[in-house]
A and B are shown apart, each in its own frame.
Chain A
């Protein structure tokens, strides 16, 4: 029996043919009633369950997943972690997440390979430099690690990049968040699932929600492909499918679901040491521990649930990459895929109560949700447990679209990866 993960158990199991490892999570039967039900078994949903159980003692809860856990955007993103956002509200939640990331592997007893290797956001003209410097300044006063590098320093930090001044979009500088980086998405999902499961959370896969029951404007239960459940609280964390869930209780969302693509190269010996992101040239890249270059780009401009984007986007993404890294041209794209991102009008998330009591929504993370995973789960768990948004969640209410108090991160950074 080796429930604890450490090097000693690994050695012991190695000698015993690895016969002692237990299932990382159970395959429980759906119970007829739960204190709360989370819809969506991605990183955010599982983190919500984990913190509900860990911080709020709510263990009689279930996570319902239509497919297999971590199979949506959690399994499709480029795992970039950073918190150097402009606005106070964003800095607060993403920096909270960054703090949690730092110890999450140990907390979960699961190596999530959190690599604080540094994230560069490139500036290619004076306007971008101005915007990014503003962000660095705001970050500094918010206690977020962030600094400005000139082109030479960028080259020192990331030697393969081209800082040729004759480029169409020459690199004139960049912000650097040294504590930013990447981690291993599957490990995060599995580690959260294993930890939540060990506290009693039921993780139900292949279970699609087909309806939500309300009485007098309050949630009382839901229907699934595996049966009915009574519950006073439903937390929707369904990313691209948030609209479908909210429609069940007639809650309208300011969300459009777009395709977002990413791709990896064949594995290569270490080539780039950090994460590089560029808005003007529109590409972002890092290298996985396995050696693959992990490359992302922009969204397609239309609503689609097909998990497939346009080939043009890939071509443009590659051209952009060649602009920044002309030495990549002989390398090969090995695998490309698409996800469904829930884009909100102000490029900021929604962590909110709704007009239906007991129905909570966590959505709108767009292209940048991965980095927030533990922070999002932490704040959302608090909201679900107490029916009241804490200071971190409060600015992200649905109400802001009515009052106009947007957290307009897209104005600050065009794309909020």
Chain B
């Protein structure tokens, strides 16, 4: 076993598409290694003889590198310099190395080479598929005792510990033709489409253009008259020169969504050393592409053979071994055994031998091999084992020998074991078109009996699959399919048909031929001792699938879920087809009869940061602010409240005050001095047209036919279900012209609601709507005697309340600037709302405060915030839609019968007379006062009928919707929705309190100021 004891793997003397002039050092598990620019972590580790890089999920078995790309099942590690910029579960076959890269093994303890978790493997007989469903069922909650241990054992990598310092972007593109995959087929397609004048996007998920051609020995293939690498570079240069073409490498098409929307994920800086990263570049970028036509040239994926002991590091896909050799200049082993069921793997043997490796054997399950193939191998002196199979392997953390036996005609074992030492088993069970994106596009697959794989059938979207993705494995076929599809796609996208130039490949490569599938290679061992892995990451063996089937799980989806096959981070890219074939074999069905599991987005895992794009942190959602906001923000200690998208000042704290004290002061000031509120955020809608009145009649619950110009009226809006939706004051500007206001949070909804009715239900009404919310800034000035202040402000209108009456409005000027003044009030106090063009809002605001005594003026002016506004309106018993209502209150429930007109339809009217909405035992809005005047009920407190709560469930009569300490009444006040509340005036009820005796409350009217003057409270 000499070969296996020394470090296997080797960098070749020459060849490969790496930059041997640029050595790069990196660390894996603390040890420093060397690689070259252009290496992936996988190729660099293999060049250093490091095959084992991970442990499997369940049994913690050693895992090596199997594939060379995104399809690798289990070679995943943690990357990153520290605990913050760390990337768990990173595939070594995709991570490019850079100077200083740090990688470490994950899901193992204490180390990769010695992992305690291997105990699971020792007892694996007791942990078959679904074992956890059969145990840990003690008394209730007993799972809670086991779960922490299970959770700790599960999981793979470790999440970052702090906020990601990187930026991510997302961007939108429209393309005539999007080509996914830049191998020969994709490149030919992109070229043909671009030549036709189409806008083309060509993407490849690796760092280079060329696809499978990059896995061929340099100079071995020519396209046209040039070596392939030169021809490709020329085509790429031409594409780059075309302003309508975008070529993206390191970019994965991860999701094919509806209407030809494809998501691309570009890794912009992940391959660069931190010192090489340009600070303003995003780490990654999502391209949201809307393509008229899509061409899928996503290639084919190689299937591994399923045999006993097939999971040891050093057992790799033959195609991957060839890629590592020819693209990266790495020999994956010095002593190789090739195990195949088709011709393609033989090319790996020949290339390996040419690079200096020894080929210990080619084992092929086919009994009748083509003469040419046999001849070529014999000429090279390679031992051939036709009609044979590898039935077992040896080696602990690396494969050391392959056990070979001859198969008889029926596929059974017919010889004694022949153990051959090796440090590499390159195996191939044939190739399957990579149909993930095609299936995501919702096209129909069909099972190709020649390929023994699914390939694209009928397309559903504007899509074409070409090349190996379409089952065409021959190079010339790929070029031709790509070229034709590119031209056809451009034509379908509206460009003039052109006959694209033919590109001739120099020769036919060794492709899959005479494929013979054996879903599981037989083993001489007792069935229970066989460990043939189908899913290498989640440790699913053929035995697990057998158990699932034996237990009656026959749907492929059930088996997947029961065994977790295909549910790892690779999503079973190379495992699934083997699983389907094995299930079919076991159930005695055909593969298409068994079906396939869904190919879900994303094709491979995409960082959540990239998906979130730029819409994070300060850009997550806009904060809308008013014209006066700079003034608010400059106050010494102001607390804001988000209201819808808006930020409104909640209270302006003065030195030494807490929030409560500030609110009390502001509330008091608005009734005793002058309070000023920024009311700019209220929604405003201009309503105009000869039918405007009729429109308002239908939209609001009350009548609008007689409101005279110059007057305002309060209105309540319902939804068709009869529940209160919004409220506000609307002013009549002219007979056919109204100015409507809405709640701050409801503005957009209301406009949508109104436009909906106008355009769809009543298109005959001549009414136009335009939102004017932000055109005006609004200062609401409130308090006894505030008319004097308003008089000082206005140039030309006398605000004397005797002549400028409640619910009137006037046009006026302030220093020549037009304003509109409304005498409306949400506090019950004398109040004027001054509307001014928003660009003068801050000026007006400052002008008002220049009159304050604190600024050397003469008025006692207090700015107040939304919290004081809430208290003030509650003192007067005004509702806030959304606080005192919750979508279940009718106007009657709110005691607002007066606002519902006696006749005439309006939106929601019919719902009010349904049997349950007209019941008298509904919850109705009332005022509540506590027995202890200084006790403020918590909003949300439940109201009950008796002093003793008794046992649960307790009958609840209602709940407190608003509750404050009113400085103007010197006591607490509350509003509540209470069952039959309107008939309970004077009744004592109880407010339930956690851990304390219920507090007695008395039912009163909601207008507390009136209740006080009536002597009720």
Q: Chain A residues in contact with chain B, CB under 8 A?
A: 5-7, 9-11, 13-19, 21-27, 67-71, 75, 88, 91-92, 102-103, 105-106, 109-111, 113-117, 124-127, 130-138, 140-143, 160, 162, 167-169, 184, 186-187, 190-191, 205, 265-271, 287, 289-291, 306, 308, 310-311, 314-316, 318-323, 326-337, 345, 400, 402-406, 408, 410-412
A18 to chain B, nearest CB (A): 5
Could you say which residues of chain A place their CB within 8 Å of the CB of B568?
A: 267
Number of A-B contacts (CB under 8 A): 335
Encoded as 1 (CB less than 8 Å from any A CB) or 0, chain B from 605 to 635 comes to 1111101110111001101000000000000
The listed residue with most A CB atoms (<10 A of its CB), out of B133, B154, B606, B623, is: B133
Residue of A nearest to B938 (CB): A133
Known A-B contacts: A111-B133, A291-B156, A323-B620. Give 5 more (CB < 8 A): A130-B883, A138-B942, A141-B992, A321-B608, A331-B608
A23 to B128, CA, bound (A): 15
Query: Are A21 and B550 in contact, CB atoms less than 8 angstroms apart?
Result: yes
Q: Can you list 25 contacts pairing A with B, beta carbon distance less than 8 Å?
A: A5-B134, A7-B135, A14-B125, A18-B550, A116-B144, A125-B641, A132-B940, A133-B940, A141-B956, A143-B952, A190-B562, A191-B133, A266-B89, A268-B156, A268-B157, A270-B148, A291-B154, A315-B286, A320-B620, A326-B163, A327-B164, A330-B85, A331-B159, A337-B598, A408-B888
Could you say which residues of chain A place their CB within 8 Å of the CB of B949?
A: 141
A403 to B134, CA, bound (A): 48
A331 to B623, CA, bound (A): 28
Instruction: Identify which of B57, B162, B612, B952 contacts A142 (C-beta below 8 A).
Output: B952
- Interface stretch, picked from B255-263, B383-391, B502-510, is B255-263
A146 to B86, CA, bound (A): 37
- Interface stretch, picked from B33-41, B413-421, B551-559, B776-784, is B551-559
Query: Are B141 and A322 in contact, CB atoms less than 8 angstroms apart?
Result: no
Could you say which residues of chain B place their CB within 8 Å of the CB of A402?
A: 914
Query: Are B607 and A330 in contact, CB atoms less than 8 angstroms apart?
Result: yes
Could you say which residues of chain B place their CB within 8 Å of the CB of A102?
A: 140-141
Query: Are A137 and B940 in contact, CB atoms less than 8 angstroms apart?
Result: yes
Instruction: Identify which of B126, B147, B609 contacts A329 (C-beta below 8 A).
Output: B609
Q: Which residues of chain B from 933 to 958 have a CB within 8 Å of any chain A CB?
A: 938-942, 944, 949, 952-954, 956
A278 to B86, CA, bound (A): 27
B882 beta carbon closer than 8 Å to chain A:
yes
Query: Are A330 and B612 in contact, CB atoms less than 8 angstroms apart?
Result: no
B720 to chain A, nearest CB (A): 10
Q: Which 3 pairs show the lowest CB-CB distances between chains A and B?
A: A291-B155, A17-B528, A23-B552
Could you say which residues of chain A place their CB within 8 Å of the CB of B642?
A: 124-125, 169
Query: Are B608 and A336 in contact, CB atoms less than 8 angstroms apart?
Result: no
Query: Helix, strand, loop or mixed for chain B's interface?
Result: loop
B137 beta carbon closer than 8 Å to chain A:
yes
Q: Chain B residues in contact with chain A, CB under 8 A?
A: 57, 85-89, 123, 125-126, 128, 131-141, 143-144, 147-148, 150-152, 154-164, 166, 168, 170, 255, 257-258, 261, 263, 286, 288, 442, 526-528, 543, 547, 550-555, 557-558, 561-562, 564, 568-569, 571, 598, 600-602, 605-609, 611-613, 615-617, 620-621, 623, 641-642, 721-722, 882-883, 886-888, 911, 914-917, 938-942, 944, 949, 952-954, 956, 959, 992, 994
Could you say which residues of chain B place their CB within 8 Å of the CB of A271?
A: 159
Residue of B nearest to A9 (CB): B134
Could you say which residues of chain B place their CB within 8 Å of the CB of A334?
A: 569, 571, 602, 605
B981 to chain A, nearest CB (A): 16
A97 to chain B, nearest CB (A): 14
Residue of B nearest to A403 (CB): B916
A258 to chain B, nearest CB (A): 15
Could you say which residues of chain B place their CB within 8 Å of the CB of A7?
A: 135
Whether A127 contacts B883 in the complex (CB less than 8 A), given A291-B156, A329-B612, comes out as: yes
Whether A327 contacts B569 in the complex (CB less than 8 A), given A18-B547, A265-B608, A290-B154, comes out as: no
Instruction: Identify which of A23, A140, A322, A403 contacts B550 (C-beta below 8 A).
Output: A23
Could you say which residues of chain A place their CB within 8 Å of the CB of B152?
A: 269-270
A178 to chain B, nearest CB (A): 11
Query: Are B994 and A140 in contact, CB atoms less than 8 angstroms apart?
Result: yes
Query: Are B887 and A408 in contact, CB atoms less than 8 angstroms apart?
Result: yes
Whether A330 contacts B87 in the complex (CB less than 8 A), given A18-B128, A311-B261, comes out as: yes
Could you say which residues of chain A place their CB within 8 Å of the CB of B952?
A: 140-143
B604 to chain A, nearest CB (A): 8
Could you say which residues of chain B place their CB within 8 Å of the CB of A267?
A: 57, 89, 154-157, 568-569
Instruction: Identify which of A16, A19, A88, A135 contacts B940 (C-beta below 8 A).
Output: A135
Could you say which residues of chain B place their CB within 8 Å of the CB of A327?
A: 159-164
Residue of B nearest to A104 (CB): B140
Could you say which residues of chain B place their CB within 8 Å of the CB of A320?
A: 620
Could you say which residues of chain A place their CB within 8 Å of the CB of B86?
A: 330
Query: Are A105 and B137 in contact, CB atoms less than 8 angstroms apart?
Result: yes
Query: Are A289 and B608 in contact, CB atoms less than 8 angstroms apart?
Result: no
Query: Are B137 and A109 in contact, CB atoms less than 8 angstroms apart?
Result: yes
Could you say which residues of chain A place their CB within 8 Å of the CB of B609?
A: 318, 322, 328-330
Could you say which residues of chain A place their CB within 8 Å of the CB of B135?
A: 5-7, 10, 111
Residue of B nearest to A138 (CB): B942
Could you say which residues of chain A place their CB within 8 Å of the CB of B123?
A: 14
Query: Are A269 and B621 in contact, CB atoms less than 8 angstroms apart?
Result: no
A189 to chain B, nearest CB (A): 9
Query: Are A330 and B547 in contact, CB atoms less than 8 angstroms apart?
Result: no
